[in-house]
Structure 1
Amino acid sequence: MKYKKSEAKGYARENFRGVWAATATPFCDDLSLDEAGFRRNMRHWAQTLQLGGLFVCGKQGEFFSMSVAERKRTFELAVEEAAGHCGIVTSCSDTNLDVVLDLARHSQDIGADYIVVHSPVLHFHHDAEATVYEYYRHLSEQLDIGIALWNHPDCGYVMSPELCARIAELPNIVAIKYSVDRALYARLTELAGNKIIVSTASEEEWLDNIVELGWRLYLCSTPPFLLQTANDQRINEYTRLAFEGKTAEARQVRNSLEPARAAFRSARPSGTPQAYTKYWMELLGQVGGPVRRPLLNLTEAEKAATREAFARSGLAK
């Protein structure tokens, strides 16, 4: 590891910053892991797009349809390709705690910068706070690597800002991907912004959060590699301008991306987001490939609609 457990918060404060993207995992036609394709994508994201870091094997990466061995291998490939170019946070989320710890220890051993662990899946709960606190306290006790929390309403409950702030007291809890209403993440920033790096997945809110909340980390979703190309890196550009205090210029650049955002939203099917992401990646020249069950691939009609939307996005220039 690049830091001691006691140094995790300070290391993250200095290095866990900028635009981080959530990676997709390419599979071959026979649904095996496409290692060469993943390496190619990693080089594009880390070197051509010069992203601050990558969030590997999360929901966008279809971790739920991958074996533990495949997840570990994907971590290894990511760390190898990112070395010297960008940071890596590995998604160790799982319903089984032993798997979480196994993936986390592997991440420590191979030199990942941080791990991210989703709040636990709970059934029939009435008050999740004590359970969730103990879950993260145990992880913090068992591990040395910096841990990012991850919570959103899809899991059945929302962690309160007060609970997040309490967990933030733990020594190697460094960040949170808090996909909730702005009032909640603004409250957590106020409560514990000096102890935990707060972020949310929405690219459209990123600039306002830099300006109004003083944020320095976008963690993270797919727009950094779906709305940027080798010759068009406006997310990176408006981020840089905002960090430099050039707010008016940053807003101009951010707003100029709206046609691309609108085009992307216009054809996205409600039931196959990962397949849509992968096909859009292919239109950009990246490696996508099929999705694994239980997910569905795009129909030919959905692919045609995607191509039409992509043509309107202005990203093909």
Structure 2
Amino acid sequence: MKYSKLDAKDYAREHMRGIWAAALNPFNKDLSLNEAGLRANIRHWIDDLDIKGLFIAGKQGEFFSMSLDERKRNFEVAVDECAGKAGVIISVSDQNFDTVLKLALHAQNCGADYIVVHAPVLSFVYDRGEVLYQYYKALCDRLDIGIAMWSHPDSGYIMTPEECARIAELPNIVAIKYSVPREMYAQLTRMVGDKIHVSTASEDEWLDNIEELGWQLYLCSSPPYHYQTKNDKRMDEYTRLAFAGKFDEARRVRDSLNPVREAVSKSRPADKPQAFGKYWQELLGQVGGHVRPPMLELTDAEKAAIRTAFEGCGLRT
């Protein structure tokens, strides 16, 4: 560990900054994890795109289709390849508490910087706030590593700002990935922004959140490596400009990416996010690969439409 439990918040405020991307996992034709492909992608993301940190084994990475041993190996490969050149936050999310704890201990022991834990699905619960607090407290009591909350409608509900703020007081809660409407994450930022990082995956709101909410962390999704190439790092550029207070210039750079955003939005088939993301990676020269059930593969017609959109979006490869 690079910090103690009681220093976790301060460490994260200093080191958990900039653009962090959620990694897709490349699977081979036989659906085994393509470790060499993942390592190649990580090298590109760090060395060529200057991405500051990686979110490993999340929903983008199809953790729900992986065995516990595969998830642990996924952690190890990412930590080894990042090798201190980029931060690593690992999703240890699961509905079973013992599984979350075992994965969290493995992440802590193999050298991850932080973990993220999705809010659990709750059934027949009246006082949800107390259940959530005790859930995260039980993890904090057993772990030293910094923990990020993760609230998303996939849980069947979204945590309220008040529920999040109470949990944020726990010593090694360092961040939240808050997939909610902007007014909710803005409220939470005003409540706890001096204690933990508040972030969301919406790239098109990132610049406004730097300027208006003082955010320092983008946590995280695939745009950092879908919207950028070694020769075209406009997301990195507008982020640096915004951090320097040059917001007018940053907006011009951000807005120049609108054709890319539109190409992605218009060509991405409904219900095939991972397959789309992997194919877009392949068009960029990264390692994409297959998806695992229950996720669906692209049809040839869908690939053709995506390729046409990609070729006209203006990314400089």
Provide the TM-score with structure 2 as the length reference: 0.98
Task: Find the aligned partners of 2:60 and 2:78 in 1 and give their Cα distance.
Answer: 15
2:173 is equivalent to residue 173 of structure 1: yes
Task: Find the aligned partners of 1:154 and 1:31 in 2 and give their Cα distance.
Answer: 25
User: Does the Cα contact within 8 Å between 1:18 and 1:216 map onto a contact in 2?
Assistant: yes
2:70 is equivalent to residue 70 of structure 1: yes
User: Does the Cα contact within 8 Å between 2:152 and 2:158 map onto a contact in 1?
Assistant: yes
1:236 is aligned to 236
User: Does the Cα contact within 8 Å between 1:24 and 1:61 map onto a contact in 2?
Assistant: yes
Q: CA deviation at 1:123?
A: 2.5
Q: CA deviation at 1:195?
A: 1.3
Task: Find the aligned partners of 1:84 and 1:182 in 2 and give their Cα distance.
Answer: 33
2:134 is equivalent to residue 130 of structure 1: no
What is the DSSP-based 3-state SS (H/G/I as helix, E as strand, rest coil) of the residue aligned with 1:46?
A: helix
Matches within 5 A, 1:78-97: 78-97=78-97
What is the DSSP-based 3-state SS (H/G/I as helix, E as strand, rest coil) of the residue aligned with 1:176?
A: strand
User: Does the Cα contact within 8 Å between 2:232 and 2:316 map onto a contact in 1?
Assistant: no
User: Does the Cα contact within 8 Å between 1:31 and 1:292 map onto a contact in 2?
Assistant: yes
2:291 is aligned to 291
2:315 is aligned to 315
What is the DSSP-based 3-state SS (H/G/I as helix, E as strand, rest coil) of the residue aligned with 2:312?
A: helix
User: What do the CA deviations read for 1:132-184 (whole angstroms, capped 9, x no partner)?
Assistant: 11110101111000000000122211111011110000000000000101111
2:110 is equivalent to residue 110 of structure 1: yes
1:220 is aligned to 220
What is the DSSP-based 3-state SS (H/G/I as helix, E as strand, rest coil) of the residue aligned with 1:302?
A: helix
Q: CA deviation at 1:288?
A: 0.7
Q: Which amino acid aligns with 2:112?
A: A
Deviates more, 1:164-173 or 1:123-132: 123-132
User: What do the CA deviations read for 1:236-273 (whole angstroms, capped 9, x no partner)?
Assistant: 10000000000111001000000000011111111111
1:250 is aligned to 250
Task: Find the aligned partners of 1:236 and 1:303 in 2 and give their Cα distance.
Answer: 28
CA RMSD of aligned residues (A): 0.9
1:206 is aligned to 206
Matches within 5 A, 1:185-196: 185-196=185-196
**Structure 1: gaps (5+ residues):** none
Percent identity between matched residues is 64
User: Does the Cα contact within 8 Å between 2:231 and 2:316 map onto a contact in 1?
Assistant: no
What is the DSSP-based 3-state SS (H/G/I as helix, E as strand, rest coil) of the residue aligned with 1:103?
A: helix
2:266 is equivalent to residue 266 of structure 1: yes
User: Does the Cα contact within 8 Å between 1:39 and 1:77 map onto a contact in 2?
Assistant: yes
User: Does the Cα contact within 8 Å between 2:21 and 2:54 map onto a contact in 1?
Assistant: yes
Deviates more, 1:219-228 or 1:81-90: 81-90
What is the DSSP-based 3-state SS (H/G/I as helix, E as strand, rest coil) of the residue aligned with 1:313?
A: coil
2:289 is equivalent to residue 301 of structure 1: no
User: Does the Cα contact within 8 Å between 1:50 and 1:85 map onto a contact in 2?
Assistant: no
Q: CA deviation at 1:124?
A: 3.5
Matches within 5 A, 1:41-56: 41-56=41-56
2:158 is aligned to 158
Provide the TM-score with structure 1 as the length reference: 0.98
**Structure 2: gaps (5+ residues):** none
